Amino acid sequence: MFSMTMRKATTFLAIVFVSAGLLSQAEEPPVGTEGPPPPEAEAPLPVDMYLICPQDIISVAVVNEVDLTSDFEVSKDGTIKYPYLEYIPIAGKTVKQVETLLTNLLKDGWLVDPQVIVRVKLYSQKLVYVMGQVNRPGQQSFSGQNEMTLYRAISMAGGFTRIAQMKKVVLMTTDEKNNEKRLVVDVSDIIDGKAPDPPIKANDRIYVDERFF
């Protein structure tokens, strides 16, 4: 009788300890998962919205004109060197705008009715810099074909650490005239759906400060 009672007591204690261990393990959040899961990748921008960038490679085809059909890399100053027409600025334009531009230029003394087809053959890689209280600080790259946002860049950097200040994330970017500007963003509002996730562009810098308790 005594032996059976001891076995029951031992079994009961073992169950209690195992259950306590499981509860403790379940309650402790894993490292590096502060905040919700990373947002899903966005679909590529529509062709009529994408603005051509330096280092993109574009394909230009002119129907029945082999000499005017080729691939071109957009230079750092935003131009391509096109036969007969020399340096043409195309950065910041859509594919359709470039088609119209080349068509008009070729009509001016070169061809009667040029049929121009332009497409982006290879999108350049863009860099942004995420520093401070993220799990993988440093530069992050993304294809120019996709729109990048602040929260998505932070997610690419491994997400916030446990001591990150999510309410005052600093974004250093530039305005339309290339003047530097500083924005302070409450990412917790973005996560809760109370604020839009601001778009960012190449060479922007994101700083995540430490939260003080």
Task: Tell me the three state secondary structure of residue 84.
Answer: coil
pLDDT given at position 29: 36
What domains can you pick out in the chain, each with its CATH number? Answer: 57-122 (3.30.1950.10), 125-208 (3.10.560.10)
Dihedral-angle region of residue 64 (phi above 0 means left; psi in -120 to 50 means alpha; beta otherwise):
left
Task: Tell me the three state secondary structure of residue 36.
Answer: coil
In sequence order, what are the residues at sequence separation of 6 or more whose Cβ sits closer than 8 angstroms to the Cβ of residue 136?
157, 158
Residue type, 5: T
pLDDT given at position 87: 95
pLDDT given at position 53: 86
How many residues are given for the chain? 213
pLDDT given at position 108: 92
| Residues facing residue 109 across a β-bridge | none
Task: Tell me the three state secondary structure of residue 41.
Answer: coil
DSSP 8-class letter at 51: P
Task: Name the nearest CA neighbour of 90 among 128, 126, 116.
Answer: 116
pLDDT tens for the 213 residues of the chain, in order: 444 444 444 444 343 333 344 333 333 333 344 444 445 445 566 777 788 988 999 999 999 999 999 999 999 899 999 999 999 999 889 999 999 999 999 999 899 999 999 999 999 888 899 999 999 999 998 887 777 899 999 999 999 999 999 999 999 998 777 789 999 999 999 999 999 999 888 889 999 999 886
Spatial strand order in the sheet of 116-122: 70-73, 57-62, 116-122
Structure tokens at 28: 């402790």
In Å, what is the CA distance from 58 to each residue of 93, 101, 141?
Answer: 12, 14, 20
* CA–CA distance, 84 with 106 (Å, rounded to integer): 9
Straight-line distance from the first to the last Cα atom of the chain, in angstroms, rounded to the nearest whole number: 57
| Residues facing residue 170 across a β-bridge | 184, 207
Task: Name the nearest CA neighbour of 199 among 15, 1, 45.
Answer: 45
| Contact in structure between 128 and 200 (CB atoms under 8 Å) | yes
pLDDT given at position 43: 52
> Dihedral, CA atoms, 92, 93, 94, 100, nearest 10 degrees?
-170
- Which pTM value belongs to this model? 0.61
| Contact in structure between 119 and 95 (CB atoms under 8 Å) | yes
Q: Where are the alpha helices (DSSP H) in the chain?
A: 2-27, 95-107, 150-156, 187-191
